[in-house]
């Protein structure tokens, strides 16, 4: 494409682009801010949340340019990918947490241990409630003003309103959840060892049920299997035949956000390990001793006794976000909708990232397709090589991310045609409908980043860079505006998927790596160890996590119930 680049934009097309009228991205992200450190005119930035999104933003933000306050009920950061390992005691809870005050100690940033209970978008204030255990009577609530609000409060566990779930199930979202699960597993084994129980009681107590066959549910099932077979069986040998683990999955496969080869391998491995996976199971309710579900294929209603249930079926909306969504008319959604600059739609000065937000779909692909359709001057639905190359150059100015789009799988057909036409001197007839379809597929793949730490961290880093840019004297470096003239101040956010891991137990991990690579086995487990060690937020947690892994190899896991 670059070889045949023709350069500048035709004046006619420029006019049409300017009138395209599909833009929801003005006003510009952010407004002028004072750049002098210590100046009282510095804009106030309030960050809600100390998770992946909030911390990545904070770490990359030039805090001398803004007056920054962080609000969170948690005064530490949690490395969530290792939470399942805490449930089994493979790593200790404190090894995967980093105090916020250590993270901000060299920064000009204030931290408040409180929960935001209301966002007042009209008066640009947040209402907060003391989250500490030691409360000052009558002074539990206070307000903070902001110029820019960065909302990164994450999400809750989604129970889909299923009866009994809140009351009887365990969740796996926070450190406390993981520690409760760890205690409950040992509790189940100790209670099952009491002398006056029947076989039926023992089997119930030692039936562990995981609802949800996504990455968290699968990883927890694998950790539990390892804990039981590598450690607890040696300590409770008389309970060997009473333990069972089941995974209830509503879909047809577990790990269905992964490559099909990984799902298939995981299902086979679980079957070999004796972990029963019941596909197409929709949970109807939970009581203190039983869980009932309906099988989609047979329509049969099944009730099974359990000792512990871990509920891991996706994410729900935090009350503060649900309330704010009502205020700004985003009621028909589960998470806040933002534009490509992570600005919350229908709000002023509010940005959202991570699990509580999603970048609104549609725009880029539709705009690009629209621009290509405009280039088809005779309106026959096809473009020739020269028209295509000229249009592509124009699109690049408006959407620099088009370069990433063209590298993706769905665009291979289009590129193949183009190369063929250019090398053989043929006249390309690009079918615009086919092209639109391909680009829409790439768009949804690129932007619908799942609710993962990877997305939240990339968004936090991106937003901090945008804030740093806005506070500097650097020229605008975003794409051309559709409404108004000139460039946007910043580039839009574009998610880059770097692959994902699925630890399957028994020192085996599956990995989906960039470029459609899949790797499964023990060597991938070592890759997992090295990536997760390197991704730790500090040398302290890195050392602690590596020490815990070594300790587990040498002495096994600790089965004390604290
Ligand atoms: P969080 O990290 O959840 O942070 C939210 C923050 O907001 C917290 O500090 C919370 O205390 C704070 N908060 C909550 N309510 C309020 C309020 N009202 N006011 C102020 N602050 C508030 N992703 C991966 O990419 N790879 C993995 O391997 C992986 N494994 C996971 C394993 C488990 C068990 C879990 C639960 C998640 C895993 N994830 C993984 C997903 C990943 O953890 C989330 O996508 C990520 O944490 C989202 O980041 P966030 O900043 O949006 O929210």
Q: What is the CATH classification number for the domain harbouring 381?
A: 1.10.238
Residues 41-57 pLDDT 10s: 899 999 999 999 999 99
For position 36, what pLDDT does the model report?
41
Q: Helix crossing, 412-424 with 385-398: angle to 10°?
A: 130
Q: Is 319 buried (19+), middle (13-18) or exposed (0-12) by CB count in 10 A?
A: exposed
Task: Return the structure tokens found at 204.
Answer: 């119930």
Indicate whether 140 belongs to any domain. yes
Indicate whether 208 and 279 sit together in one domain: yes
Q: How far is the CA of 374 from the centre of ligand 1 (A)?
A: 43
For position 468, what pLDDT does the model report?
95
Indicate whether 223 and 287 sit together in one domain: yes
Of ligand 1's listed atoms, the one at least distance from the Cα of 154 is 53
Of ligand 1's listed atoms, the one at least distance from the Cα of 354 is 52
Residue ending a domain, choose from 288, 314, 340: 314
Indicate whether 182 and 284 sit together in one domain: yes
For ligand 1, atom 27, name the residue with the nearest CA. 81
Q: How far is the CA of 425 from the centre of ligand 1 (A)?
A: 53
CATH number of the CATH domain containing 87? 3.50.50.100
Indicate whether 494 belongs to any domain. no
For position 402, what pLDDT does the model report?
77
Indicate whether 195 belongs to any domain. yes
Indicate whether 187 and 297 sit together in one domain: yes
Of ligand 1's listed atoms, the one at least distance from the Cα of 355 is 52
Indicate whether 287 and 346 sit together in one domain: no
Indicate whether 441 and 459 sit together in one domain: no
Ranges of the chain with pLDDT below 50: 1-39, 448
Indicate whether 145 and 244 sit together in one domain: no
Indicate whether 535 belongs to any domain. no
Residues lining ligand 1, CB < 6 A?
A: 48-54, 71-74, 80-81, 83-84, 115-116, 152-154, 172-173, 216, 318, 320, 354-356, 451-454, 456
Indicate whether 349 belongs to any domain. yes
For ligand 1, atom 6, name the residue with the nearest CA. 49
Indicate whether 329 and 366 sit together in one domain: no
Indicate whether 482 belongs to any domain. no
Q: How far is the CA of 453 from the centre of ligand 1 (A)?
A: 7
For ligand 1, atom 3, name the residue with the nearest CA. 154
For position 483, what pLDDT does the model report?
64
* Domain carrying residue 412: 11-24+362-447
Indicate whether 417 and 274 sit together in one domain: no
Q: How far is the CA of 379 from the centre of ligand 1 (A)?
A: 49
Indicate whether 131 and 249 sit together in one domain: no
Q: CA distances (Å), 260 to each of 61, 252, 511, in order?
A: 39, 12, 12
Indicate whether 378 belongs to any domain. yes
Of 69, 153, 527, best ligand 1 pocket probe by most atoms within 8 Å of the beta carbon? 153
For ligand 1, atom 30, name the residue with the nearest CA. 81
CB 298 within 8 A of CB 197: no
Indicate whether 276 and 387 sit together in one domain: no
Indicate whether 305 and 187 sit together in one domain: yes
- Tokens 């833009």 locate to 23
Number of domains in the chain: 3
- CA nearest neighbour of 211 among 182, 246, 168, 256: 246
Indicate whether 441 belongs to any domain. yes
């Amino acid at each position: 494409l670059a070889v045949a680049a023709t350069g500048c934009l035709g004046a006619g097309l420029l006019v049409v682009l300017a009138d395209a009228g599909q833009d929801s991205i003005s006003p510009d992200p952010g407004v002028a801010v004072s750049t002098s450190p210590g100046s009282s005119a510095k804009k106030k930035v309030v960050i809600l949340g100390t998770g992946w999104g909030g911390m990545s933003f904070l770490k990359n933000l030039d805090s001398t340019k803004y007056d920054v306050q962080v609000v969170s009920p948690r005064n530490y950061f949690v490395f969530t990918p290792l939470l399942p390992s805490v449930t089994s005691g493979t790593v200790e809870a404190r090894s995967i947490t980093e105090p916020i005050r250590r993270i901000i100690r060299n920064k000009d940033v204030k931290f408040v241990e409180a929960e935001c209970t209301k966002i007042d978008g009209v008066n640009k204030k947040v209402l907060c409630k003391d989250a500490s255990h030691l409360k000052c009577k009558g002074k539990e609530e206070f307000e903070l003003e902001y110029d820019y609000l960065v909302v990164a409060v994450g999400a809750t566990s989604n129970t889909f309103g299923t009866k009994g779930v809140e009351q009887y199930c365990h969740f796996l979202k926070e450190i406390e959840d993981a520690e409760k699960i760890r205690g409950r597993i040992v509790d189940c084994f100790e209670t099952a060892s009491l002398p006056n129980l029947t076989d039926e009681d023992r089997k119930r107590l030692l039936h562990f049920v995981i609802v949800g066959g996504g990455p968290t549910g699968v990883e927890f099932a694998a950790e539990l299997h390892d804990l039981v077979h590598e450690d607890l069986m040696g300590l409770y040998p008389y309970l060997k035949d009473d333990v069972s683990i089941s995974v209830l999955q509503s879909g047809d496969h577990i790990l269905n956000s992964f490559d099909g080869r990984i799902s298939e391998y995981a299902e086979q491995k679980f079957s070999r390990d004796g972990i029963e996976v019941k596909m197409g199971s929709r949970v109807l309710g939970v009581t203190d001793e039983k869980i009932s579900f309906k099988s989609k294929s047979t329509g049969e209603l099944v009730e099974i006794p359990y000792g512990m249930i871990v509920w891991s079926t996706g994410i729900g909306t935090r009350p503060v976000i649900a309330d704010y969504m009502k205020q700004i008319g985003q009621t028909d959604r589960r998470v806040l909708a933002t534009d490509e600059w992570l600005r919350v739609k229908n709000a002023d000065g509010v940005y959202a990232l991570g699990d509580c937000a999603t970048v609104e779909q549609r725009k880029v692909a539709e705009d690009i397709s629209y621009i290509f359709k405009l280039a088809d001057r005779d309106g026959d639905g096809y473009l020739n090589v020269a028209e295509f190359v000229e249009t592509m150059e124009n699109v690049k100015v408006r959407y620099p991310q088009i370069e990433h789009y063209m590298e993706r799988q769905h665009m291979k057909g289009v590129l193949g045609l183009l190369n063929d036409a250019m090398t053989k001197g043929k006249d390309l007839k690009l079918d615009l409908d086919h092209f639109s379809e391909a680009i829409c597929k790439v768009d949804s793949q690129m932007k619908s980043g799942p609710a993962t730490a990877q997305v939240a961290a990339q968004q936090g880093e991106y937003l901090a860079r945008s804030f740093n840019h806005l506070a500097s004297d650097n020229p605008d470096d975003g794409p051309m505006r559709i409404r108004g003239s000139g460039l946007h101040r910043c580039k839009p956010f574009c998610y880059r998927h770097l692959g994902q891991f699925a630890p399957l137990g028994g020192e085996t991990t599956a990995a989906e790596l960039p470029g459609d690579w899949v790797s499964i086995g023990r060597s991938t487990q070592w890759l997992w160890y090295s990536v997760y060690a390197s991704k730790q937020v500090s040398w302290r947690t890195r050392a602690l996590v590596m020490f815990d892994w070594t300790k587990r190899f040498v002495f096994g896991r600790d089965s004390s119930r604290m």
